[in-house]
Structure 1
Amino acid sequence: MELSNGSLHYPSLLHMEFGPLSDFLDENDTNSTAGEQNVVGCVQIHVPQELFLALGLISLVENILVILAIMKNRNLHSPMYYFICCLAVSDMLVSVSNVVETVFMLLHDHGLLDVHPGMLRHLDNVIDVMICSSVVSSLSFLCTIAADRYVTIFYALRYHSIMTTQRAIAIIVVVWLASVASSILFIVYHTDNAVIVCLVTFFCITLVFNAVLYLHMFVLAHVHSRRIVAFHKNRRQSTSMKGAITLTILLGVFILCWGPFFLHLILILACPTSPFCNCFFRNFNLFLILIICNSLIDPLIYAYRSHELRKTLQELILCSFCLGA
């Protein structure tokens, strides 16, 4: 966490100390003013620390409300909503790490905090593990939800025997254990380019996996629905497709928000010393804002696409206002 240069956000995310890039950043202050240009004509946009803090707090509150709503409403106690709840927890990890990091940064900048560098390094490692766990678990749960919708649509009559609550819980435990374990390994070996290769490869594999499932679902769902005659089963089919569309939107938002970050990682491998790539690197804080926006937008998608969840969220918000009054 390079507090000394006033830019905590850059090196903390997965350490971002990958060879020439870190050397470049050490020679150039990453906290320039808006519109400042470097020697190769790059424009670096300044992102206020207060914006990071505000977005992080809003995202944190939103995801906590989603988790509480799913816990409160028994109608939402199903495997798909358990996975969505875990996706909200993944988003919450980004929010928590951002808020903690920004608070430390602001306190240090205002001379209210003076801590030992060793303590900052430990805190930096914890934040990095949280963020890395968030991206790995988010990708994993997006795949899990896609698989759940696939089973719901194409194996509707056997869904409850295939996706039991016990099996869903087992999947959740495995995903979280794998995410945390891999994140710790990534942070320990963060100086190795193999870490970047693994992250980018995992990102690409999950995108291909989801694309194949969604393509199959949307192409064959109409044919499959003809085999279901009973009204209540037709209704179930419609609900399943609505869930698939919701997860398609979630995946699209994830790609848009996390895409620049993964492009950043690819460029670190492809052209770490190129002036043009360095122009891209200098606006890393903008990519962090997009990542935080992903955790802020996801709860809005849940609420918009699910009437039951939206209704429960409204009740929670009204109750909190009543208690506050």
Structure 2
Amino acid sequence: MNVSTVNQSDCPDVTVPFPIFFAIGVVSLAENLLVVVAVIRNRNLHSPMYCFICSLAAFNTIASLTKTCENLMIVLAENGHLQKKGSSETKLDDVIDSLLCMSFVGSIFSFMAIAVDRYITIFHALQYHNIMTMQRAGVILAVIWTTCGVWAVLMVQFFASKFIMICFVAFFFISLAFICFLYAYMFMLARSHAREIAALPGSMRGALTLTILFGVFVVCWAPFFLHLTIIMVCPLNPYCECYRSLFQLHVVLMMSHALIDPAIYAFRSNELRHTFRKMLLCSEWRQCS
């Protein structure tokens, strides 16, 4: 998905060396795969919240893998090993773009699912296990992954349309508004139910973890969507072109989101951190149990 434009301003394009892209992609891929495996193997983590976190990590894994492959293709094309406009290369590029779009949309939906789960945990604690069952969590995840897959294919096929780009950018900002509203509502209710919430161990800690995750997501992805917005609003303005010259930095920041999330999981969750330690330090899982 080519969202960069020819720079016609006095601001030179900022380029990022391929090893940096590759290192971020490989490390984030390993981290998120570790999260997915940890949630699958530890039965104590078999809960709706960790299923949604696992889904978020899986989408991050896809993003890391596909972006690393895309950067590798660019290097191979620049060295004459691939055709930049060959039919097979174009089809592979469309697949990569579809997977990147799916990972982004999936991350948004996963954040929404985690936010709703935290809301039910805090304010409907007694009915939580009846409302948010593992079966319902599975149905929610199936809907999320199916929707994201279909949406991603359609967006890549019709991304040249300005209407589709507008919808893509609007989805980002509307999703941010929805999640921010839900956060504000949760913390307003938390103030009026402080005593009841204090009796729920770990509930507000989970909400705070989600807040940190979402804050990192916004910081990492917002510059990229500002880039898309500028392309639509002021494609020829020299000041806008100066901002667009930083496109590769925006991509690095976008990729860093998948790198930072697992560190937040490990820092905020004792159970997940303990599982990581057992997986990394023990040769056999059964010997560590």
TM-score when normalising by structure 1: 0.83
- String of CA shifts for 1:267-298, please: whole Å, max 9, x gaps: 11110111111111122111110011000000
2:140 is aligned with 1:171? yes
Secondary structure at the aligned position of 1:71 is classed as helix
* Structure-to-structure mapping, 1:21-60, within 5 angstroms: 22=5, 25=6, 40-60=9-29
Cα displacement (A) at 1:207 = 1.1
The equivalent of 2:228 in structure 1 is 265
Name the CA distance, whole Å, in 1 between partners of 2:158 and 2:282.
Answer: 47
Deviation per CA, 1:49-79, whole angstroms, max 9, x where unpaired?
A: 1111111000000000000111111110000
**Alignment correspondent of 2:103:** 134
Q: Which amino acid aligns with 2:56?
A: L
Alpha-carbon RMSD across the aligned residues, in angstroms, is: 2.0
AA in 2 matched with 1:290:
L
Aligned residue identity for 1:131: L
Q: In the alignment, which of 141, 144, 147 is matched to residue 116 of structure 2?
A: 147
Are 1:300 and 2:263 counterparts?
yes
Identity of aligned residues (%): 44
Alpha-carbon deviation of 1:106?
A: 2.9
1:111: how far off? 4.4
Compute the displacement of 1:223 (Å): 2.7
2:13–2:245 Cα contact (<8 Å) kept: yes
Q: Which residue pairs with 1:10 in the alignment?
A: none
Q: Which has the higher contact order (CA 8 A, sep 6+)?
A: 2
- The Cα of 1:219 is off from its aligned counterpart by 2.1
Match of 1:35 in 2: none
Residue 44 of structure 1: SS of its match in structure 2?
Answer: coil
Q: Displacement, 1:227?
A: 4.0
Gaps of 5+ in 1: 1-13, 29-38
Q: Partner residue of 1:107?
A: 76
- The structure with the larger Rg is 1
Contact 1:15 1:128 in 2 (8 A): no
1:15 equivalenced with 2:2 (yes/no): yes
SS of the aligned residue for 2:193 comes to helix
Deviation at 1:320, TM superposition (A): 6.1
Whole-angstrom CA distance in 2 between matches of 1:115 and 1:190: 19
Contact 1:94-1:131 within 8 A present in 2 as well: yes
Which TM-score applies when normalising by structure 2?
A: 0.93
Q: Tell me the matched-pair count.
A: 285
Matched, 1:200 2:169: yes
Q: Per-residue displacement from partner, 1:197-240 (whole Å, max 9, x unpaired)?
A: 11121111211111111112222224324247xxxx81xx2311
